[in-house]
C-alpha cells in the first residue's frame, strides 16, 4: 500500500491506501488507545450496533487493541485503524476478522458518529472486501449487521 498522505509532509500521517479516498487505513498501535476509546468504545450510539451493545470501560481499550494487533500477527489480516484524511483523526476500524467460533471471515467496521452518513463506511468496507478477495484470495466474505442497524443492512 502507498502512503495515504502522499507528499503532504504531515508528520502524523499514518494512513495508507488509495489517495482518492477521504480516509486511510493503518495498523493499530498502542498509541491509539485514547483516540479509539473516544471514537468508538465510549459512544453509546456507536456501541449499540456492536456485539457488546453498550459502551465499554476505558480499561478495556488496551486489551482490545492488543487483540487487533495479535490477530494481524497470527492471521495476516484483521482490523485497520481508519484515519480520516482531512483531519488525521482516528475515527474507527474496518477490516476482516473471523466470526467467533467459526472459520467464516466477515467484513467489520465501526466509525465515530460524527463520520456517519457521508459514505465512509461503505467505502471502507469495499476496500476491505477488495483486500480480502484480491490480496488474500478468499473465496467468501460475509457481512453481519445488528437488525436495528438499518444503514448497514441496506
Domains of the chain: 23-153 (3.40.630.30)
Judge whether residue 36 has pLDDT over 50.
yes
Instruction: Please state the separation of Cα 24 from the chain's center in Å.
Output: 10
Give mean pLDDT, residues 110-127: 94
What's the order of all strands across the beta sheet hosting 23-26? Answer: 23-26, 79-84, 89-98, 105-111, 142-143
Quick count: other Cβ atoms within 10 Å of Cβ 154?
7
Q: What confidence tens digit (pLDDT) does each residue in 56-77 have?
A: 999 999 999 999 999 999 999 9
The CA distance from 149 to 132, in Å, is 24
Q: What confidence tens digit (pLDDT) does each residue in 80-113 have?
A: 999 988 888 999 999 999 999 999 999 999 999 9
Judge whether residue 118 has pLDDT over 50.
yes
Torsion of CA 114, 94, 13, 33, to 10 degrees: 80
* Total-model pTM: 0.83
Amino acid at each position: 500500500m502507498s502512503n495515504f498522505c502522499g507528499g503532504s509532509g504531515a508528520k502524523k500521517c499514518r494512513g495508507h491506501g488509495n489517495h482518492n479516498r477521504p480516509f486511510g487505513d493503518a495498523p493499530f498501535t498502542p498509541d491509539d488507545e485514547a483516540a479509539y476509546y473516544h471514537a468508538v468504545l465510549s459512544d453509546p450510539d456507536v456501541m449499540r450496533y456492536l456485539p457488546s451493545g453498550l459502551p465499554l470501560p476505558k480499561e478495556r481499550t488496551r486489551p482490545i487493541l492488543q487483540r487487533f494487533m495479535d490477530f494481524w500477527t497470527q492471521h495476516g489480516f484483521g482490523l485497520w485503524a481508519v484515519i480520516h484524511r482531512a483531519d488525521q483523526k482516528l475515527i474507527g476500524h474496518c477490516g476482516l476478522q473471523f466470526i467467533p467460533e467459526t472459520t467464516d471471515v466477515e467484513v467489520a467496521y465501526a466509525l465515530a458518529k460524527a463520520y456517519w452518513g457521508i459514505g465512509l463506511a461503505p467505502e471502507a468496507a469495499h476496500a476491505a472486501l477488495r483486500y480480502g478477495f484480491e490480496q488474500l484470495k478468499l473465496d467468501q466474505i460475509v457481512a453481519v449487521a445488528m437488525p436495528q442497524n438499518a444503514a448497514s443492512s441496506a
